[in-house]
A and B are shown apart, each in its own frame.
Chain A
Amino acid sequence: MIYAGVFAFGAVALLIEARRNYRESLKQEPFQRHPILHNARVDDLCTPRDGFVGFIIYSLLYLVSYVVILSSAELFDLIRNVNMAKAQVGATTSFDPFAGDVLNLEGTVYAKPIFVSAFLIAIMSVGAMRPIENSVRSAAHRLAGIPRGVYRVIDALQTPAFQALTSRRSGPLLSHFRQLMKAQCPDQDIHDLAGHQHDIEVALGAIDVLSPAVTPHKRAKYFPASELDMLTEMAGKLQIEMDGLRSDLMTFVPSDRSLEDLQEKANTAANNVKALFAVHYIRNNRSVKNLDPGSPLHRSVAVIDRNYNPEQNSIAMAAFLSVILAFFTTFYLYYDWHKRTVTIYPVVATKDVTTAATAAGIDVTAQRCIAVYDTRRLRYSDEPPPPPLDPAVTDEEVKSCMPVIEAAQSSYILSIRTDLVREAFWETLQGALITLLAVTSVAFGREVRLEQESWKRGWSLARMPFLRLFGLCLLPSILAVVGSVGGELAELANEAGPMNLTSTQIVDLFQTNFLHFALMLGVGFVLSFCTLIILDKHDDFYNEITVLFLGVPSALACVSIFGLVTFVTYTFAAPELPDGGISYVLRDILIMSAVPTIFMITFAIFIEITEEQRLGKDGMPEHQWLVQRILFGEAKEKALP
């Protein structure tokens, strides 16, 4: 009870620190690249509710770290005590003479929560840990919807697809500019040697399409959920800037100098429009309301939506499918093993043959059928040969026993079916925890770094940035260990019954499986490394190539690493069945690697299926399936809207 109080005290201290850090982060000005968003602080761009949700998530991440570190410390203490006790004699009763001294908190049990809490506060304040703290905060912001994804939307508005869209549809500013240029400079190539005119057209096209949605009068129509004071103020500023640009255009006289000035103004205005639009779009739950179908704005939103990466969905779908398929695979492997075993296992037969013989009511005794079974059954290689059958038993009697024996075998298989389902569930759960923790964390880490613009995906397989990939795979590898431990603990807790897990059982679990858990570091590394390669490189290949040369090798790597795990940890003589089927060790390798293996293949497939069609150099979509390309040649299909 007192320990719970100290634990709560440590948690509250952490929450206070988390709140201080978080409030500081809200005062930052995150959008320095776009003039209109200067001086816009994070808390200006989100509602109090969003800020609160962000804080809850941020503090939860603190608390999760607190719980994980504290339980690891307690676990370490438990295991250390047991190991020390091996070299000690006497009672092992926990003996703390100061435990009752609550006011002074001198008992050793009280120290850990306070220490862990202080450690976390201290470590998060160190400069070297700032990137991690930033990542955690960024994660909280993302999850709370606080506009950290603005850059991604702005990037989508700078793609060739968006430019193609805006250049084909002339809005008022672009039309005016083109007419002006056509009237005054029929030989426009002379003036556009420096590319000014093209740049101005691109900028004006973007302004024409996006600005109606963010001007003070209309933005409430498109973005009803983003009524923030700061956004209103920004929209006002943008309106003034637009008015200035418009009046400049009215009085525009083309010359090299004026084109250069106009280009600068148009670009600044376009960037501001895009930035403000992006903020509105994010604040409006990544949507624009009341769009007219077929309007340029509608198609722009389609471009942004299409730019929304398919990676998260692919991971989710692959995870879902792999867990289901792995469950059935595991169940089948167990079922098949036991079905083969039942032809050998003597004790089961003794019991079930007796029951089946009684149920059949045939005129041979159960003992006689057991003797027949024992003579006929397959035997392990180290078993003695079967005893000779009593010569008094006739062939008819032997024949009449066969249905009884088959019924007994079926009855045994039916009776253990529930156990097999349960076992398959726990195996799948552990595989799923390992895979999902490793994969989602590495994908999330990559997302954060992409958003911070510190991740380049354009590397080549020939010159793999191993260190960068390795660095990102470290945490997921550790999380795979946590997942494995969590899965085993959950199974143990379930076996022990609710709240009945004893410290000896936990210690025994760790002592027995220590090597297995440690090797999960390697499994986590393989999983996260392969995931990163598929995420970064799938764009470079045709779909089949991605699946065959990235997905399948990744799956094989998973099987291999589990093969290594069994090779190292299976120190006992695994039972082999004499029927030539898959061995015990291979069965376990397949069971352990079921989820990650299926995940890797399905992930590679889904990420290619869900991906948007790529545009060629000419801005037209190109085939992504090699088969399609071989059959139909270079594609010039329908253009993007």
Chain B
Amino acid sequence: MKGRFLATCCALTIALVVQATAQGAPRTAAKDPKSISQCILGNPQARLRVGVRHHARPFSYHSSTLNEVLTAATPGPLAASNYTGYVVKICDAVLNEMRIGSETMAPLQSNDVSILDIDCAQSASLGEAGSRFRFINGSEKPLIDVLCDPATITNDRRTGMMISAPIYLTGVSYITPKNMQRPRVPSDDGHCPSFLPPGSDKIFYLFGMVGNTTAAGDGVRAVLDADELPNDRDALIEFLKETDKCSGAATTAALETGIQGRGPVRFFRTHAEAARAFCNQEIYYYVGDREIITANAASVPGCDFDNGTRTFTTDRYAIFGRIDYNEKDRALLVARFFEVLSQKIVSHPSILDQAFYDTFHPTRPTDALDFFFRSVRGAP
């Protein structure tokens, strides 16, 4: 009875917070950031620091409307700040439960949680270089304790971090513009950027992908191994060899305008940028994790695309955390986070099902993803 009362109070409080944030506080942290501190919502020294993404649709992103944020579930601190997505919803549900507390641990208060917008922080002071994992496990002072974004489990990422059970199964794919033939550039056949159409100032790259993601290296290699694009095989090999022999006018223009690219591949800072360039036909193949590239392209009005129906790798997403045993309170909270997460994954109904329904409804999971969910929760 007492628990139910507390839950009701929490829900009312959160609803008020959501209402307040929707009306007042600045939510566009990613717009013209000056420093990392502007990318942090809440107390930077909060007991639990959560990292989210601004542009990683549909897993972790900032929404300007509440339509995509609010669901039947009680909004947590992340939803209150207009962050949503499949992974964010899972994290939010866990944080909500932590607010209730347990017999041995005090409930989490609203000001105990801070949120770092990683895309904002990436572009703030640290520039383009480096992985987003440096915020949780870098040589500098860590800024987050839990990373709530579509992060793939790899062997490189297992040391020094806590990894949840896999929460999603996807893979690298690519999409192409609908009703557009692959442009042929007679001079170099797509190995280098070029002006397309000829005579225009639009710089065209054959491939586009977001830098520092799995897609950049392993993804291209997977597409190459599948021999999926035999006509562009040489261009892809040149890219993987990391030799950039391009020196034409388009390459020079790209350098002048600050476009990042190597050979036939253009790198983007965020998927939102990549999707805009793709829909503007500045790239032909948009490579990345399947749901992310299709969701971002679909979010651009009037942008139709083909392909994106096959994955060339099998990647497992997980939530990553960091336990610093020198900071016992923080370490306990992170442990508690993963404790609740594991409980909510295997319980029935599973948080995975709820988050999937809230994010992707009415889309169905593929056979592989459906079987993966069954395996993780251990029940149909």
Contacts and interface: CB of A to CB of B under 8 A. Distances in A.
A92 B171 contact: yes
A347 B369 contact: no
Contacts of B171: 91-93
Interface string B307-331: 1111100110000000000000000
Contacts of A346: 198-199
Contacts of B365: 88-90
Given A82-B310, A347-B198, A351-B186, A89 B230 contact: no
B187 interface: yes
- Of the candidates A92, A350, A502, A507, the one having the most CB atoms from chain B within 10 angstroms of its own CB is A92
Nearest to A86: B309
Contacts of B168: 90
B371 A92 contact: no
A496 B230 contact: yes
B174 to A, nearest CB: 9
Interface string A233-273: 00000000000000000000000000000000000000000
Contacts of A91: 169-171, 290, 311, 314-315, 366, 368-369, 372
Given A91-B171, A347-B198, A85 B364 contact: no
B231 A85 contact: no
Contacts of A92: 171, 290, 309-311, 366, 368
Nearest to A85: B309
A495 interface: yes
Nearest to A412: B186
Interface string A63-86: 000000000000000000011011
A89 B186 contact: no
A454 B226 CA distance: 54
Given A347-B187, A351-B186, A502-B228, A95 B367 contact: yes
A496 B233 CA distance: 10
Interface residues of B, number: 36
Contacts of B231: 495
B368 A89 contact: no
A376 B227 CA distance: 43
Interface in A454-496: 495-496
A361 interface: no
Contacts of B363: 87-89
A601 to B, nearest CB: 35
Contacts of B371: 95, 97
Contact of B227 (A347, A350, A502): A502
A347 B368 contact: no
Interface in B161-177: 168-171
B179 A572 contact: yes
A580 interface: no
Given A82-B309, A502-B228, A504-B310, A90 B186 contact: no
B291 interface: yes
Interface string A344-360: 00111011000000000
B310 A85 contact: yes
A348 B187 CA distance: 8
A497 interface: yes
Given A346-B199, A503-B310, A89 B369 contact: yes
A500 interface: yes
Interface string A568-593: 00011000000000000000000000
Contact of B368 (A93, A500, A508, A572): A93
Given A348-B186, A504-B307, A90 B230 contact: no
Interface string A163-205: 0000000000000000000000000000000000000000000
A504 B227 CA distance: 10
A87 B364 contact: yes
B220 to A, nearest CB: 16
B353 to A, nearest CB: 13
B86 to A, nearest CB: 9
Contacts of B372: 90-91
Interface in B328-380: 360, 363-372
Contacts of A497: 227, 230
Interface string B103-136: 0000000000000000000000000000000000
A596 B100 CA distance: 79
A511 B372 CA distance: 30
A579 B179 CA distance: 28
Nearest to B195: A347
Nearest to A512: B306
Interface string A29-46: 000000000000000000
A85 B372 CA distance: 16
A251 B274 CA distance: 108
B366 A90 contact: yes
Nearest to B231: A495
- Of the candidates A85, A87, A88, A571, the one having the most CB atoms from chain B within 10 angstroms of its own CB is A88
Nearest to A383: B199
A500 B179 CA distance: 24
- Of the candidates A86, A503, A504, the one having the most CB atoms from chain B within 10 angstroms of its own CB is A504
A89 B307 contact: no
A496 B199 contact: no
Nearest to B373: A90
Contacts of A571: 179
B290 A89 contact: yes
Contacts of A495: 230-231
A88 B369 CA distance: 10
10 contacts: A85-B310, A89-B291, A89-B366, A90-B170, A91-B290, A91-B366, A94-B368, A95-B368, A348-B186, A502-B227
Interface of B: 168-171, 179, 185-187, 198-199, 226-228, 230-231, 290-291, 306-311, 314-315, 360, 363-372
The 8 closest A-B pairs by CB, nearest first: A90-B369, A85-B309, A90-B366, A95-B368, A88-B366, A91-B169, A91-B368, A93-B368
Given A83-B309, A85-B309, 18 more contacts: A82-B310, A87-B363, A89-B170, A89-B290, A89-B364, A89-B369, A90-B170, A90-B366, A90-B368, A90-B369, A91-B171, A91-B311, A91-B369, A92-B311, A95-B371, A508-B307, A511-B306, A572-B179
Interface of A: 82-83, 85-95, 97, 346-348, 350-351, 495-497, 500, 502-505, 507-508, 511, 571-572
